[in-house]
Amino acid sequence: MFTSLFPACSDDTPEPEVESVVTIDPSSITIPKSTFIGYRLTLKVGDVDWRAAEVDWSTGDERIATVDKAGIVTGVAAGETEITGTLRNGKGAAKCKVVVSDDNNYKFRLTLRDKGTSSFSINKPEEFLSPKAIERRKKRNIPIDNSDLSISAYYIKKTEELGGVVVAQSKWLNTVTVHVTQELMMYKYKELPFVADAVVVWQGKRYDEASLKVKTQSDEADEPLSEYGTAWVNINMNNGQILHEKGFKGAGIDTAVIDGGFINIKT
């Protein structure tokens, strides 16, 4: 954890000579993404700490890190950028390399401009709808149309080629949810020609693989039952793993889920 550092300032700081070396102390920092922790940089002329009132601070990429007029740097998103301190008298400037770390994973909801070309046809609904779904449509007189066709496989492929994993699709809402390890990947997704918008809908702590191994209560050989991933927190809370051990795993059961707990959803 970093805390703000406030070096002493003096109104009688001497004017730098032209040949004085201008540096930033420290010359590089690694800080966590944070909304309340800042790290203060000091611009030095020779061996003298220069007063903040005589320095203009700027960031190379405010998506990664910001800096205020006192030289206090705050991490915004994982990545690397530079902070520049410039003497207002024009006699020098220096840069500090800033690396921001982030131990969270993210999910983005991508709103697509269209669904692209589908490999299915509404004339053959059995190829993309279950028998139950088709029977329900007939019973309730609901027509099968283009809204029932899946999102283009090409779109899904291009989305995952950027480095994320598609974890959900909605052919009716025309959206794709993608799991990523870097928040700034959102800007890459927005550059895809078929993506209209991208927003964060979830973020959570990144776990290492060893912490996701789940053991059975009766397993003396200490072998993992399964890898639940981050779902282990909720499963363990309800002792769901005990049902799994007894063979109850939901096979052959249809489940409807209604959930309003999503970020950026307007109701």
Written as tens digits, the pLDDT of the chain (267 aa) is 333 443 333 445 555 454 579 999 999 999 999 878 899 999 999 888 888 779 999 999 999 999 999 999 999 999 999 999 999 988 899 999 999 999 999 999 999 999 999 888 999 999 989 898 899 999 999 999 998 999 999 999 999 999 999 999 999 899 999 999 999 999 999 999 999 999 999 988 886 555 445 444 444 444 444 557 767 778 888 888 888 888 888 888 887 777 666 556 555
Closest-CA residue to 76 (of 67, 84, 60, 64):
64
Exposed / middle / buried, residue 110 (Cβ in 10 Å: 0-12, 13-18, 19+): buried
The end-to-end CA distance of the chain, in Å, is: 38
CATH number of 105-205: 3.30.70
What the block records as the tokens of 31 is 């800080």
State the span(s) of the chain assigned CATH 2.60.40.1080.
Answer: 22-101
CATH 3.30.390.50 fits 22-101, yes or no: no
What is the pLDDT at residue 30?
95
Q: Where are the alpha helices (DSSP H) in 110-231?
A: 131-139, 153-161, 185-190
pLDDT at position 265 is 58
pTM (predicted TM-score): 0.66
Task: Say what the pLDDT of residue 264 is.
Answer: 61
Query: Where do runs of H (alpha helix) occur along the chain?
Result: 131-139, 153-161, 185-190, 232-237, 240-245
What's the rounded Cα separation, in Å, for the pair 12 and 16? 12
Nearest to 67 by CA among 94, 38, 92, 88: 38
User: Using an 8 Å Cβ cutoff, are 87 and 43 in contact?
Assistant: yes
Q: With 0-12 CB in 10 A as exposed, 13-18 as middle and 19+ as buried, what is 169?
A: buried
Portions of the chain given CATH number 3.30.70: 105-205
pLDDT for the residue 226? 52
pLDDT the model gives residue 224: 42
| Distance between CA atoms of residues 137 and 147, nearest Å | 14
